[in-house]
């Protein structure tokens, strides 16, 4: 309750009616006054008329207040929407955008250039049909989020999750949506799946790898044990030449084991990134002559001609130990599979900014199937040489990995009965 204060002089008569909100709350009073006694007195009609006017005024005041509150709320929520990192969007049932929030600017667009465009402009072609089916489900009341691919303005592909709802505007159905960028999450998931697959393949390769290595280790050890036990029990009945022959076989088996263990050690260092790669200037002719000196006894024994064809003054930027290991293994491999009185040609020549190496032999060659398995850990290849020389099959894998360290690729050309050629390139050294 309040006090009504009359304004002006003394009045003969006054009439007041309350102003009430739509909820019936008192918000004011309307008062009229009569100052002389010549006019008629107020009656019930006057009260009814003033009450009607009062109701209209109260309603106008109430509507004005609501309009102000609505404008304030609209400004607040628009500000909130415009500052969201997610994209808020609205489109009609034909797929044309009627509203897009400013968050779309992160992806190269402005809201103005997208409003009026069809969603097909944004949605990746692989997901257009998927999004249309999702929209039809939405109109049938089936609400759920969906993942789609959209284009950045530069046409790179991004991944989004969208959640939508249906509303009515001016008697027509429209669809609201919120787009959340999940590109980083999708990429992480893909990387994780790729890593899991690689780990699975690595484990499978490792199991096969060690199974074959165990077999290759067993053979020379069996030879050593067999020959040594025979010597222990029968040495008194053997001639000097027979003892020398058994000793040579034991020595050969021991060398095979040592080669396997050395290769295995280098392989493990590569796989665990513990093998140091130290590229420097390396003289090509020095490397080739070192290899020739080491392998000379093998070529002499099988009467194989080893020919070196090297351009003078060539130098490469390489890890000396790795490069020498590669060439030694490749030449040793050629010796193993080249019959007696055959030939091996090692060449090195400048090609643009690289030195191209090739090792060609007149050996037994390989089938296409064997070539396809040479550098695969899951298809470990071991073959007996022309005079029953044994190998681990690990040497070529080491060569392949060492050349990869230098940014190159080990390639092979071969035909059965016609020999093989292994080639690779190493960067030229200009200092």
pLDDT of 162 reads 93
Which pair of tokens denotes residue 221?
């050890």
Give dist(CA 308, CA 357) in Å, integer.
Answer: 11
More confident residue, 222 or 228: 228
Helix axis angle, 240-271 relative to 394-405, nearest 10°?
40
Instruction: Say what percent of the chain tops pLDDT 90.
Output: 38
pLDDT of 92 reads 95
C-beta of residue 406 within 8 angstroms of C-beta of residue 272 = no
Segment 395-404 shows an average pLDDT of 86
Q: Which residues contact 423 (CB under 8 A, 6 or more apart)?
A: 356, 357, 358, 359, 410, 411, 412, 413
pLDDT tens readout for residues 26-74: 877 777 777 766 666 777 888 788 888 888 888 888 888 887 777 766 6
pLDDT of 80 reads 59
C-beta of residue 222 within 8 angstroms of C-beta of residue 214 = no
More confident residue, 431 or 12: 431
Segment 277-303 shows an average pLDDT of 88
pLDDT of 222 reads 76
Phi (first) and psi of residue 152, to 5 degrees: -70, 165
Segment 1-20 shows an average pLDDT of 67
pLDDT of 226 reads 82
pLDDT tens readout for residues 67-120: 777 776 666 666 655 666 789 899 999 999 999 988 899 899 999 999 999 999
pLDDT(291) > 80? yes
pLDDT band for position 330 (50/70/90)? very high
pLDDT tens readout for residues 311-328: 888 999 999 988 998 998
Segment 11-16 shows an average pLDDT of 72
Mapping DSSP onto H, E and C, the string for the chain reads: CCCCCCCCCCCCEEEEEEEECCCCCEEEEEEEEECCCCCCCCCHHHHHHHHHHHHHHHHHHHHHHHHHHHHHHHHHHHHHHHCCCCEEEEEECCCEEEEECHHHHHHCCCHHHHCCCEHHHCECHHHHHHHHHHHHHHHCCCCCCEEEEEECCCCCEEEEEEEEEEEEECCEEEEEEEEEECHHHHHHHHHHHHHHHHHHHHHHHHHHHHHHHHHHHHHHHHHHHHHHHHHHHHHHHCCHHHHHHHHHHHHHHHHHHHHHHHHHHHHHHHHCCCCCCCCEEEEHHHHHHHHHHHHHHHHHHCCCEEEEEECCCCEEEECHHHHHHHHHHHHHHHHHCCCCCCEEEEEEEEECCEEEEEEEECCCCCCHHHHHHCCCHHHCCCCCCCCCCCCCCHHHHHHHHHHHHCCCCCEEEEECCCEEEEEEEEEECCC
pLDDT band for position 21 (50/70/90)? confident
pTM score, whole prediction:
0.50
More confident residue, 133 or 203: 133
pLDDT band for position 6 (50/70/90)? low
Phi (first) and psi of residue 83, to 5 degrees: -100, 0
pLDDT of 344 reads 94
pLDDT(365) > 80? yes
More confident residue, 374 or 93: 93
pLDDT(155) > 60? yes
If one looks up domain 276-431 in CATH, what number appears? Answer: 3.30.565.10
Q: Of 122, 134, 121, 110, nearest to 159 (Cα)?
A: 122
Measured CA to CA in angstroms, residue 348 lies from 10, 285, 296, 325 at distances of 125, 9, 19, 16
Tell me which range, 190-194, 211-215, 315-319, 331-335, is most confidently predicted by mean pLDDT: 315-319
Of 102-106, 232-236, 376-380, the range with the lowest mean pLDDT is 376-380
pLDDT of 83 reads 64
pLDDT of 377 reads 62
pLDDT band for position 284 (50/70/90)? very high
CB atoms within 10 A of CB 310: 18
Domain 204-273 CATH assignment equals 3.90.79.10: no
For the chain, what are the domain ranges? Answer: 13-81, 84-181, 204-273, 276-431
Mean of the per-residue pLDDT values of the chain:
84
Which pair of tokens denotes residue 326?
């590669």
pLDDT(348) > 70? yes
Segment 209-236 shows an average pLDDT of 75
Q: Of 357, 347, 358, 360, nearest to 428 (Cα)?
A: 357
Nearest-Å Rg of the Cα atoms of the chain is 45
Segment 296-315 shows an average pLDDT of 88
The reply to whether 276-431 shares the fold of 84-181 is no
pLDDT(208) > 80? no
Instruction: Say what percent of the chain tops pLDDT 70.
Output: 85
Segment 379-403 shows an average pLDDT of 73
pLDDT(205) > 70? no
Of 203-207, 360-364, 416-420, the range with the lowest mean pLDDT is 203-207
Domain 84-181 CATH assignment equals 3.30.450.20: yes
């Amino acid at each position: 309750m309040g006090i009504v204060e009359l304004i002006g002089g003394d009045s003969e008569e006054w009439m007041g009616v309350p102003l009430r909100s739509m909820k019936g709350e008192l918000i004011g009073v309307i008062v009229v006054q009569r100052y002389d006694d010549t006019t008629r007195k107020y009656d019930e009609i006057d009260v009814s008329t003033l009450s009607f006017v009062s109701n209209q005024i109260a309603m106008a005041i109430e509507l004005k207040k609501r309009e102000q509150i609505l404008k304030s709320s609209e400004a607040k929520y628009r500000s909130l929407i415009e500052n969201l990192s997610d994209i808020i969007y609205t489109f009609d049932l034909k797929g044309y955008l009627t509203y897009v929030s400013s968050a779309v600017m992160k992806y190269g667009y402005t809201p103005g250039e997208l409003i009026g465009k069809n969603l097909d402009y944004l949605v990746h072609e692989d997901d257009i049909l998927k999004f249309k089916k999702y929209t039809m489900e939405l109109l049938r009341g089936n609400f759920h989020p969906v993942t789609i691919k959209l284009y950045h303005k530069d046409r790179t592909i991004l991944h989004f999750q969208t959640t939508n709802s249906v509303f009515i505007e001016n008697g027509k159905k429209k669809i609201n949506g919120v787009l959340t960028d999940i590109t980083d999450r999708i990429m992480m998931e893909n990387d994780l799946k790729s890593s899991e697959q690689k780990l699975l393949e690595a484990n499978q390769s490792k199991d096969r790898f060690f199974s074959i290595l165990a077999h290759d280790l067993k053979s020379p050890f069996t030879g050593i044990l067999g020959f040594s036990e025979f010597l222990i029990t029968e040495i008194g009945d053997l001639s000097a030449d027979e003892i020398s022959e058994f000793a040579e076989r034991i020595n050969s088996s021991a060398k095979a084991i040592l080669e396997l263990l050395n290769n295995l050690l280098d392989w493990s260092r590569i796989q665990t990134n513990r093998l140091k790669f130290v590229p420097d200037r390396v003289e090509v002719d020095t490397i080739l002559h070192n290899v020739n000196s080491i392998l000379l006894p093998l070529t002499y024994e099988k009467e194989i001609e080893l020919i070196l064809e090297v351009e003078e003054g060539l130098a490469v930027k390489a890890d000396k130990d790795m490069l020498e290991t590669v060439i030694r293994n490749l030449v040793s491999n050629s010796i193993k599979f080249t019959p007696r009185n055959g030939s091996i040609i090692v060449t090195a020549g400048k090609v643009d900014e690289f030195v191209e190496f090739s090792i060609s032999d007149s050996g037994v060659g390989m089938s296409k199937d064997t070539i396809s398995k040479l550098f695969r850990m899951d298809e470990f290849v071991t073959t007996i040489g022309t005079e029953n020389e044994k190998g681990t099959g690990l040497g070529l894998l080491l060569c392949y990995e060492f050349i990869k360290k230098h940014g190159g690729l080990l390639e092979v050309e071969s035909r059965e009965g016609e020999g093989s050629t292994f080639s690779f390139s190493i960067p030229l050294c200009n200092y």
